[in-house]
């Protein structure tokens, strides 16, 4: 294949709800560009996209696929993304390097929640969209209803470029109101004839052409003036206006296709090449230092890695976009994260599993390489003399968490390595061993997301693993002042052990006054502060530790041991074994023995005094609370709200958003296990949600009683 300049490249991302036909349309695009000479099908497991065994099994996209086609002497890079929101990490990666989204809308279903979710991501990432009403050859295709749903629900204004003449099983023709022609397709290989618009369609076509002209003129003052002077615009003028409108995300052109029968593919590709922003016109890439990196092919090279994967006998494959410069074989670059040099020994253009060796790639192009030593997703490689670090992809927060273990204990170590490899390929999968919970916790975007991972690991690595409910990282704290003293004394021949500690504890809060006196159980305790230490605890909250010993009752050399004893008990709280937090401890008296006192004695005395005081200080268990935002079609709102209330949620607000309702709630983490599955069941898969940690709050008394009983029962066992 030829080497393409930056001006000859377009990068698009195919998005849409599951079942909207993205993979089939990508196949038609590759066929039209002669990258393949025969179109594969989902049913026959032979498409360029969806080329993994697990995608063949499920008959749907699970991973993004990079492919290219050559058309009109241009190179069109295509990233085909999964429709399911469980795999949205692929979309975030794709939108990082793609310049425009092509949003497929199923002609039978109209604008679905999947379209809304992905359009929302496009807004967040500031990417323009082109809409394609696909599957117009389906029996229940309804172009008018689909278009109305786009108008009702899309934030970006749709403008019709094409409409079908005979939708349904006989679909073979559409009117293009930009070209003001009718296109009729003679076969299922994209062979078309260009005809005049029939008389019965002329009025509708002219009305839609006028709307298209007005939309194009709206975004350019010169075009608007020209339109007022002449009353119309040429096709080139319309394209110029739409270029501006699309780039500003102010307008979304609407096209007609049947990817399965290769109807409309050519015209869509022509429009993308003529109108969609390319690397030289799309926004520059922001670097970590705040600078903007333009697509200048003559400047020092910068690559951004947006996807990594492991493949059979090849090993690691890194997919990248050339942000700046011209990449050539054998070039040596520096990884901005590791500081290591990487030699790019081979460069490939990518068409699914097919890789075409090339000698160079210009700024704006997408390709892959192999055998890099330590490079992964979100890394930047740049010329050693001009180091650059591109802002990384901000992946969405996890929405589903589970504890994981190998079914066969001897596989545990192997499973750990495999899960780390999974993280290499999919950064939205998080895996960590929690010392606090004594569990390996895996997090992802949904139960289906993690089930797919489990299935793949079982097939490829012969490891069976199981998910189960994770423990909750509770915290323990106190609500009032309490006092305790404890004497540790042990004599069993030889040197003995003796240490006595008197302490007061109270709840800590920001800005509280320094201690001067306490009255506990009718006893007044005066505090004379000799020393103060304050610790930000690694699990959140604070510990304030005061030395108020007078008259040498406890030697200063034993104070660190007392602190250590307190910290040990805070590390394993007295109520449920969870971390304790937000406590002030004042050591005000004690006793020691000239021979038998030592550090271990005072550590144990402090542990037990703290435990006793804690239990008398109105102890409370605190639980993590998450902010949850649910996006749900209006008809399901009642069921979703009722379910959340059963999960002890506090509803914070609701608002309507173009046919969908947005519900905000604060929900305990303990109530969110498998929520994604329940939400999908309640709404027939039509809703989605995000969750983000907010704060720790006290659990209700009935919940605390259950937790205490469960811990006591476990302790007894």
Cα 367 to Cα 77, 230, 282, 354: the distances in Å are 9, 46, 19, 12
* Distance of alpha carbon 546 from alpha carbon 585, whole angstroms: 6
* Measured distance CA(714)–CA(717) in Å, rounded: 5
**pLDDT per residue as tens digits for the range 567-579:** 999 999 888 889 9
Q: What is the pLDDT of residue 418?
A: 92
**CATH number of this structure's domain 479-618, picked from the four choices 3.30.420.40, 3.40.630.10, 3.30.360.10, 3.30.230.10:** 3.30.230.10
Non-local (6+) Cβ contacts of 221 within 8 A are none
How do strand 579-580 and strand 475-477 relate by DSSP bridges?
parallel
Q: Can you give the pLDDT at residue 658?
A: 67
Show me where the domains of the chain are located: 6-275, 285-341+352-382, 400-471, 479-618, 621-704
Question: pTM for the complete prediction?
Answer: 0.87
Tell me how far apart the alpha carbons of residues 681 and 628 are, in angstroms, rounded to a whole number: 18
Question: What region, left, alpha or beta, does residue 431 occupy, with left being phi > 0 and alpha being psi -120 to 50 degrees?
Answer: beta
From the candidate CATH numbers 3.30.465.10, 3.40.50.970, 3.40.1080.10, 3.30.70.240, the one assigned to the domain spanning 621-704: 3.30.70.240
pLDDT at residue 717, as a whole number:
38
CATH of 400-471, one of 3.30.70.870, 3.40.640.10, 3.30.9.10, 3.30.980.20: 3.30.70.870
Q: Which residues of 422-438 are buried (b: 16+ CB within 10 A; e: fewer)?
A: bbebbbbbbbeeeebee
Q: What pLDDT sits at residue 229?
A: 85
Provide the pLDDT for residue 659. Answer: 67
Q: Compute the distance between CA of residue 646 and CA of residue 648 in angstroms, rounded to an integer.
A: 5
How many Å is the maximal CA-CA distance in the chain?
113
| Residue 118: CA count within 13 A, CB half-sphere | 35
Contact (CB, 8 A) for 610 and 485:
no
Distance CA(379)–CA(307), nearest Å, equals: 10
| 3-state per-residue secondary structure call for 511-548 | CCCCCCEEEECCEEEECCCCEEEEEECCCCCEEEEEEC
Radius of gyration over every alpha carbon of the chain, rounded to an integer in angstroms: 32
pLDDT at 153: 87
Residues 6+ apart with CB under 8 A from 659: 111, 116, 149, 152, 153, 633, 634
Contact predicate 76/5, CB 8 Å: no
d(CA 52, CA 63): 9
Tens of pLDDT along 483-519?
A: 999 999 987 766 789 999 999 999 999 999 999 999 9
- CATH entry, 285-341+352-382, from 2.40.30.10, 2.60.40.10, 3.30.70.1560, 3.40.50.620: 2.40.30.10
- Which CATH class for the 6-275 domain? alpha beta
- What does DSSP say about strands 620-633 and 688-698: parallel, antiparallel, or unpaired? antiparallel
Q: Which residue ranges of the chain lie beneath pLDDT 70?
A: 493-494, 658-659, 713-717
- 104: CB partners within 8 A, 6+ apart: 14, 15, 16, 17, 20, 21, 22, 25, 132, 134
Note whether 400-471 and 621-704 share their fold: yes
Burial class (CB in 10 A: 0-12, 13-18, 19+), 92: buried
């Amino acid at each position: 294949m030829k080497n393409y300049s930056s001006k000859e490249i377009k990068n698009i991302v195919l998005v849409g709800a599951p079942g909207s036909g993205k993979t089939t349309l990508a196949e038609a695009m590759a066929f039209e560009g002669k990258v393949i000479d025969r179109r594969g099908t989902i049913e026959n497991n032979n498409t360029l996209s969806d080329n993994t065994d697990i995608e063949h099994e499920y008959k749907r996209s699970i991973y993004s696929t990079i492919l290219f086609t050559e058309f009109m002497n241009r190179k069109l890079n295509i990233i085909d993304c999964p429709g399911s929101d469980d795999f949205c990490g692929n979309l975030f990666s794709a939108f990082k390097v793609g310049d425009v989204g092509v949003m497929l809308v199923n002609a039978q279903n109209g604008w679905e929640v999947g379209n809304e979710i992905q359009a929302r991501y496009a807004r967040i990432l500031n990417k323009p969209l082109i809409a394609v009403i696909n599957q117009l050859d389906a029996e229940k295709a309804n172009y008018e209803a689909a278009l109305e749903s786009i108008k009702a629900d899309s934030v970006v204004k749709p403008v019709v470029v094409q409409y079908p003449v005979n939708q349904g099983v006989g679909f073979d023709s559409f009117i293009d109101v930009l070209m003001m022609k009718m296109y009729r397709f003679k076969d299922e290989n994209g062979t078309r004839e260009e005809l005049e618009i029939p008389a019965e369609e002329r009025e509708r076509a002219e009305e839609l052409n006028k709307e298209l002209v007005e939309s194009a003129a709206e975004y350019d003052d010169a075009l608007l003036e020209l339109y007022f002077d002449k009353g119309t615009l040429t096709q080139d003028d319309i394209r110029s206006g739409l270029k501006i409108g699309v780039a500003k995300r102010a307008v979304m052109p609407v096209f007609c296709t049947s990817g399965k029968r290769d109807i409309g593919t050519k015209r869509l590709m022509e429009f993308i090449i003529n109108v969609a922003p390319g690397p030289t016109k799309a926004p520059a890439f922001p670097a970590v230092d705040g600078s903007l990196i333009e697509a200048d092919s003559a400047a020092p090279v910068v690559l951004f890695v947006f996807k990594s994967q492991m493949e059979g006998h090849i090993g690691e494959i890194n997919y990248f976009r050339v942000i700046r410069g011209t990449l050539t074989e054998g070039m040596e670059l520096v990884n901005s994260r590791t500081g290591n040099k990487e030699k790019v020994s081979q460069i490939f253009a990518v068409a699914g599993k097919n890789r075409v060796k090339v000698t160079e790639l210009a700024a704006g192009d997408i390709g892959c390489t192999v055998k890099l030593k330590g490079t992964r997703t979100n890394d930047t490689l740049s010329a050693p003399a001009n180091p650059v670090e591109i802002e990384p992809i901000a992946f969405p927060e996890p929405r589903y968490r589970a504890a994981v273990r190998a079914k066969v204990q001897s596989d545990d170590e192997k499973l750990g390595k495999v899960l780390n490899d999974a993280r290499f390929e999919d950064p939205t999968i998080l895996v960590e061993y929690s010392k606090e919970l004594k569990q390996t916790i895996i997090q992802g975007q949904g139960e289906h997301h993690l089930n797919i991972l489990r299935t793949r690991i079982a097939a490829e690595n012969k490891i069976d693993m199981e998910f189960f409910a994770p423990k909750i990282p509770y915290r323990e704290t106190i609500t009032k002042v309490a006092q305790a003293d404890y004497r540790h004394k042990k004599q069993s021949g030889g040197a003995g052990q003796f240490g006595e500690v008197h302490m007061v504890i109270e709840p800590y809060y920001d800005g509280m006054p320094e201690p001067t006196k306490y009255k506990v159980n009718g006893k007044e305790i005066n505090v004379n502060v000799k020393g103060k230490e304050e610790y930000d605890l690694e699990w959140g909250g604070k510990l304030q530790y005061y030395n108020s010993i007078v008259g040498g009752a406890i030697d200063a050399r034993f104070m660190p041991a007392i602190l250590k004893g307190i910290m040990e008990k805070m590390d394993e709280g007295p109520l449920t074994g969870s971390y304790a937090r937000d406590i002030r401890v004042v050591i005000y008296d004690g006793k020691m023995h000239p021979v038998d006192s030592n550090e271990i004695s005072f550590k144990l005395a402090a542990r037990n005094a703290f435990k006793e005081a804690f239990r008398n200080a109105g102890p409370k268990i605190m639980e993590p609370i998450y902010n949850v935002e649910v996006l749900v079609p209006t008809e399901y709102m009642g069921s979703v709200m009722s379910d959340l209330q059963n999960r002890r949620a506090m509803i914070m607000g609701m608002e309507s958003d173009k046919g969908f309702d947005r519900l905000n709630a604060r929900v305990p983490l303990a109530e969110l296990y498998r929520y994604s599955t329940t939400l999908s069941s309640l709404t027939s898969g039509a809703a989605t949600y995000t969750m983000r940690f907010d704060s720790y709050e006290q659990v209700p008394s009935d919940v605390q009683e259950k937790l205490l009983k469960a811990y006591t029962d476990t302790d007894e066992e």
